[in-house]
Structure formats: structure tokens, C-alpha cells
Amino acid sequence: MAYIEQSLSKGEEIHEIYKLHWFSKIPMIIWILLAIPTIGLTLIVAIYEWLRLRSLEQGTTNKRVILKSGIISRKTEEMRMSSIETVEIDQSVYGRIFGFGNVKVTGRGISDVIFTKIDNPMEVKRSIESVEII
């Protein structure tokens, strides 16, 4: 079961789960291709990269913005919807061409939640801003 589903509080519902863009898988593909000339030594790094990407969860509920990472350990960054001040998009030229970027959710104080290499960042921004707070 996913962390976001496990951590729901009473009355909390999942609004949306955000997917990584296929560009985020390029390092893993490069490590797999390098496994051929290195007799499979880089395959370990490719497997680690695959597990890292697979264990990443990004999403919103009607109460929080959630970013979870970690293969065995767990690191979460969460922000209550009522604490959000701005939602910013950071896109490179390649990001604009291929449709990926970073979405930075800034809250009160010094807290930030940054979704990196997210697919369709403009849609993610709209989705976060359209959540109805309970």
C-alpha cells in the first residue's frame, strides 16, 4: 500500500497523484547501457535508480501536499493546504520542449515542497491551486 494512502486522516481524500516525466528515467537507461561494456557492474546502479524512482510518491489530498522518498528508509515532506502561499514552476528550455519541470510549493515560514522532473508542471500547478480546502 502506498504511503499517501496509508497516511490519510479522517475525512481526508486523495485529490491527485503526480507522475514523473519519462526524462527522469534517462539516468537509469544510461546505467543499463553502460552495463554491457562493464560486464554488468553498473547494473547495480541501474537497479538502485529504478528502486529510487519507484519508491517516490508525489501527490495532493484535500488537506495536504505530500512528497515521499526513500527505498528502505522513508523521508516525507508535507504541507497543509491552508499553509500554501505560492506555487511556482521552474522549467528549462528542454523542460518546455518536452513537457517537464519542477513545481515548488512555498508555505509560511521556510518550508518548501519541490516536485522535481514532474510531468506537465502547469497542470500540476493548476491542480494544487484548485484543491478545495476542508
Residue 61's pLDDT is 95
Residue 111's pLDDT is 83
User: Could you tell me if 83 and 65 are in contact, meaning their C-beta atoms sit under 8 angstroms apart?
Assistant: no
Residue 41's pLDDT is 83
Place of cell 546502479: 45
Question: Where are the domains positioned within the chain?
Answer: 14-129
Q: What is the 3-state secondary structure (H, E, C) of 54-105?
A: HCCEEEEECCEEEEEECCCCCEEEEEEHHHEEEEEEECCHHHHHHCEEEEEE
How confident is the prediction along the chain (134 residues), in pLDDT tens digits per residue?
599 999 999 999 999 999 999 999 999 999 988 887 888 788 899 999 999 999 999 999 999 999 999 999 999 999 999 999 999 999 999 999 999 999 999 998 878 999 999 999 999 999 999 998 76
Dihedral sign (CA 90, 93, 96, 99): negative
Residue 1's pLDDT is 52
Which grid cell sits at 81? 493546504
Residue 39's pLDDT is 81
Residue 37's pLDDT is 86
Residue 63's pLDDT is 94
User: Could you tell me if 119 and 99 are in contact, meaning their C-beta atoms sit under 8 angstroms apart?
Assistant: yes
Which grid cell sits at 49? 535508480
Place of cell 527522469: 24
14-129 has which fold?
Answer: PH-domain like (2.30.29)
Long-range CB contact pairs, 26-29, < 8 A, 24+: 28/53
- How far apart CA 113 and CA 43 sit, in angstroms, is 31
